[in-house]
Amino acid sequence: MSTFDKEFWTFSFHEMGTRDLPAIIDYILKLNKDFQKIIYIGHSQGTCMLFAAITLMNEYFKNKIKLFIALAPVAKLTNMKSNFLKFLSKLNFQKLFKSAEQFEIFPDTKISNDINRWITNKIPSLANFALEMISDDNINSLNNNKKRMKVYLTHYPSGTSLQAMNHFIQNFQNKNFAQYDYKITANMRIYGQPKPLEYDLSKIKEIPIALFGGKEDKLATEEDIDWLKLKIGENLVFSKIYEKMGHVSFLIGNDLNWVNDAILLIDAFSINDDLIK
């Protein structure tokens, strides 16, 4: 398929987790035949796709993942505080994009990169404001590397599908962690019921999970992480909320205390039959 085809963009974190992740993991283990499992480190959507997939394919992931380190973990977004995503949820932006036959959003193009580069160099306060609107409180007081932030914002965001963005907004609006809502007729055909099936996190068994959260994170809030801790139950091996850390601080932070904690976990779980990812 071409990226100009509507069908190309019919995916969200669900397909990333149930299709892409198994393909990637199997490929890694095929190339590294001496190893039986990996240690998986995901950030934000990289955690959401695995949480969703494990509930549907627990046996597969139990046999392939030794430890799941979740940075800024995302599942249910009930307490999400992002003004930008709240605005999109009220705007009914999906209908607008569909009417324009635009199924890729925030594409990574030379024009968008040039604009972002100009803004971050000439009006850094505007770039900071955008991050505060989207994901992080008090961006100037966080332990972020301001110089590197300019570099990353030049290539951020890098594009996704309309369906992927809408899936997150659906979960926020419905206050749940569920599969994609195709509306009643299609839901009946796909799920056998009017509403999409929820991801049952109680089905996660025998997969050690570590949760790393930021105190100033608007997307993966402390309240929703507490809910996630209760749902994953005995699978939880580590949980910590870091002060002066936001959603992107795990990518561009000056404070590397969370890295030290992650390394300790990796060392503890890295036995001979493991491969770190």
247 an active-site residue?
yes
Token pair listed for 49: 């796709």
44 is catalytic: yes
Residue among 82, 135, 161, 217 flagged as catalytic: 217
Helix H, strand E, coil C: the string for 190-254 is HHCCCCCCECCHHHCCCCCEEEEEECCECCCCHHHHHHHHHHHHHHEEEEEEECCCCCCHHHHEC
Q: Which of 14, 43, 44, 82 is catalytic?
A: 44
SS3 at position 172 = helix
| Nearest residue to 256 via CA among 111, 110, 145 | 145
**Distance between CA atoms of 72 and 224, rounded to whole angstroms?**
11
Which one of the listed residues 89, 167, 247, 249 is annotated catalytic?
247
Closest CA relative to residue 207, chosen from 180, 233, 168: 233
74/221 Cα distance (integer angstroms)? 9
9: DSSP letter:
G
The separation between the first and the last C-alpha atoms of the chain, rounded to the nearest angstrom, is: 29
Dihedral of CA 63/65/67/69: which sign? negative
DSSP string, 100-112: TT--EES---HHH
Known catalytic residues are 44, 217, 247
